[in-house]
């Protein structure tokens, strides 16, 4: 019998037991889904008149598409700024100069510790005091997303660079490269490939967090689709939640698929000795450097 990395292949009794547990689990999930369906049916949430608005082009043109555009705009701007913020402060935390490394660490830890919703509220109510009256919903949402997610990405960048075997940098220094050349030409190209899964994971979180703009009345998908639209068509709250949820799932799946394609292409285009960095949820973002590889292999990878 072949074995896997984690456990031995199941025997006859184990396969029977696993089959029974699978059937029981499927029945339990089906029962839960039926309970949800029956509950909605009792509240008349499956009636055609409630779902009728979502079959009309005007509903999508007036409510859903403008909200989707608002969500994508906030997510795109915040993602770019968060990536820049994360790259700058992540590399700053790797600096040999204490006067750069310590303040960067303080900034990252502070904004990682503040709840995102509190950060958005703070910016939203502080901006009119400093800059005068105006609509700062977009700015508050984008800056909040940038500061929080950028701080998490800074730890991803730091971990990605440290994940490159030490022999890579040692070989680069041995052939006469300076520190900025080592970072730019040797470490970062490999670290980006290793960081890709964690970066995408955080960008998916950022995209979902744009829904917090609902609290400050930002015109996003959740606001127009789950607040304004049900008010216009009374009784369509549950259908609106289902439709909006499906759209969010589609956006996140598209982003994940794009990232998977980019990662595979990146790994095919160049060799890397750096293992993938775990997503932030795994709790090992601050991990130390891996064991150094042979110097000859490092030079070959650099070339």
Instruction: Write down the mean pLDDT value for the chain.
Output: 80
83 vs 167: CA distance, rounded Å? 27
Could you read off the pLDDT of 155-202 as tens digits, one per residue? 998 888 887 877 777 787 787 787 777 777 777 787 787 788 888 889
What is 6-26 written as a DSSP string?
Answer: SSBPP-HHHHHHHHHHHHHHH
Contact call for residues 106 and 97 (beta carbons, < 8 A): no
What's the whole-model pTM score? 0.72
Flag whether pLDDT at 292 surpasses 70: no
Tell me 211's DSSP state.
G
What's the burial of 246, exposed, middle or buried (CB within 10 Å: 0-12/13-18/19+)?
A: exposed
Mean pLDDT calculated for residue range 101-130: 90
In this prediction, residue 110 carries a pLDDT of 92
Flag whether pLDDT at 284 surpasses 50: no
Flag whether pLDDT at 127 surpasses 80: yes
259 vs 254: CA distance, rounded Å? 9
Q: What are phi and psi of 289, to 5 degrees?
A: -70, 155
**Both tokens of residue 140?**
């508050």
- CA distances, 239 to each of 5, 150, 183, 236 (Å): 45, 34, 51, 5
**Both tokens of residue 129?**
């005091």
In this prediction, residue 278 carries a pLDDT of 61
The highest-confidence range among 33-42, 173-182, 259-268, by mean pLDDT, is: 33-42
Confidence of residue 128 (pLDDT cuts 50, 70, 90): confident
Q: In this structure, how many other beta carbons lie within 10 angstroms of the beta carbon of residue 167?
A: 21
Helical (H) or strand (E) element with 155: helix 137-163
Flag whether pLDDT at 302 surpasses 80: no
Could you read off the pLDDT of 59-81 as tens digits, one per residue? 888 888 888 999 999 999 999 99
Flag whether pLDDT at 102 surpasses 70: yes
Mean pLDDT calculated for residue range 196-219: 88
Higher-scoring residue by pLDDT: 130, 289? 130
270 vs 266: CA distance, rounded Å? 6
**Both tokens of residue 203?**
């960008």
Helix (H, G, I), strand (E, B) or coil at 3: strand
196 vs 262: CA distance, rounded Å? 8
């Amino acid at each position: 019998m072949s074995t896997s990395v984690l456990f031995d292949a199941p025997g006859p009794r184990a396969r029977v037991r696993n089959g029974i547990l699978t059937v029981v689990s499927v029945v339990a999930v089906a029962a839960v889904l039926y309970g949800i369906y029956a509950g909605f049916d009792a509240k008349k949430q499956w009636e055609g008149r409630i779902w009728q608005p979502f079959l009309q082009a005007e509903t999508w043109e007036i409510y859903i598409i403008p909200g989707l555009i608002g969500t994508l705009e906030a997510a795109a701007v915040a993602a770019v700024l968060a990536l820049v913020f994360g790259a700058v402060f992540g590399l700053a935390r790797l600096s040999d100069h204490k006067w750069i490394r310590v303040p960067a660490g303080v900034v990252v830890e502070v904004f990682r510790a503040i709840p995102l919703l509190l950060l958005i509220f703070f910016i939203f109510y502080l901006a009119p005091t400093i800059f005068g009256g105006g609509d700062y919903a977009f700015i508050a949402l984008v800056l909040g997303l940038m500061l929080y997610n950028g701080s998490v990405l800074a730890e991803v960048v730091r971990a990605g660079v440290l994940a490159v075997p030490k022999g890579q940098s040692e070989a680069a220094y041995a052939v006469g490269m300076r520190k900025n050349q080592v970072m730019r030409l040797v470490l970062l190209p490999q670290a980006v490939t290793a960081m890709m899964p964690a970066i995408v994971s955080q960008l998916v979180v950022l995209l979902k967090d744009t829904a917090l703009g609902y609290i400050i009345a930002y015109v996003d998908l959740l606001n127009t689709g789950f607040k304004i639209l049900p008010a216009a068509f009374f009784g369509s709250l549950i259908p609106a939640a289902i439709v909006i949820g499906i759209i969010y799932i589609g956006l996140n799946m598209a982003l994940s698929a794009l990232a998977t394609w980019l990662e595979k292409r990146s790994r095919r285009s160049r060799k890397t000795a750096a293992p993938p960095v775990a997503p932030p949820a795994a709790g090992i973002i601050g991990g130390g450097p891996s064991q150094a590889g042979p110097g000859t292999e490092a030079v070959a990878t650099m070339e």
